[in-house]
Amino acid sequence: MIKTRTGEIIVTNENQNKLLKKLYGSVLGRVLLKTLTAPAVSYVAGKFMDSRASTLLIKPFIKRSGIDTSEYVMYRFRSYNDFFTRVIKPEKRPVDYAPDHLISPCDSKLTVHKIGKNSIFRIKGSRYRVSDLLKNEFLANRFCGGYCLIFRLEVDDYHRYCYIDNGTKTDNTFIAGELHTVNPVALERYNIYKRNSREYTVLHTENFGDVVQVEVGAMMVGRIVNHHGEGGFCRGEEKGKFEFGGSTIVMLFGKDTICPDEDILRNSAEGIETVVKYGEKIGKACR
């Protein structure tokens, strides 16, 4: 289930879920997935999505998804990916600059999980170790007792993301893998965040301590485009974007560094995702 910050229940795309259930819930479907999730297939799909021919997909997608184009900077797009990574008008996503306010890095459906002493968290019935996510046990252990925030982006979400605070960062570490969908249907059967292609960096923030941010790719392209390597950054500055495919951002916070907002904690405890927007307050720094 998905809820807005005001408690309204969001209805998901049932047709899409039926197709995914067939893919992930049958032997034939899982055989097909071996092909669909291969990086080579995503490479070919990416080439098409970068082509002029792919612009034919734009208008049907806008209509089907009910996207409010008045919120975006619209022009004659060169390709579907050009449209998919469209820029939103700044006034439509105001950034909260209060130093102690934790902001969302993106438009998404958010769940929050406490990281236990064994660094294991559970999402939609699947178990995940932070060390599997990062392939770095030493780094993962630093976040024991903290929070793991899962920001799940669907294809109709805004696919650019920002820095949550001022600070400096390490270089980006890329981990190769398959490209599964991040739809909850897939989460019930596969450890997506362990198997998907992903990229992470350590953010040394002014107000929340050291934070790990992981961008996770998804089925059919799901390319991660981070703008910066090692260096400094500012709150609200664009960190990067996802090209075609629903995607996910995972953020790890240390013990006693953040206090997520009560509605998000309550929804997460009940297995409910909360709709959040780029730049909006989702918690506070612990003092």
CA 209 to chain CA mean position, Å = 21
Specify which residues 203 forms β-bridges with: 169, 211
- The verdict on whether 171 is a catalytic residue reads no
- The verdict on whether 247 is a catalytic residue reads yes
Tokens of 234: 């500012």
Residue among 107, 165, 210, 261 flagged as catalytic: 107
Give, for 43, the enclosing helix (H) or strand (E). Answer: helix 39-49
Q: Round to whole Å and give the CA distance between 221 and 81.
A: 10
Helix (H, G, I), strand (E, B) or coil at 257: coil
DSSP 164: S
Residue pair 161/249 in contact by the 8 Å Cβ criterion = yes
Tell me the CB-side half-sphere exposure of residue 132, using CA atoms within 13 A: 14
Helix (H, G, I), strand (E, B) or coil at 126: strand
Residue pair 219/181 in contact by the 8 Å Cβ criterion = yes
Residue among 104, 197, 247, 268 flagged as catalytic: 247
Catalytically active residues are 107, 247
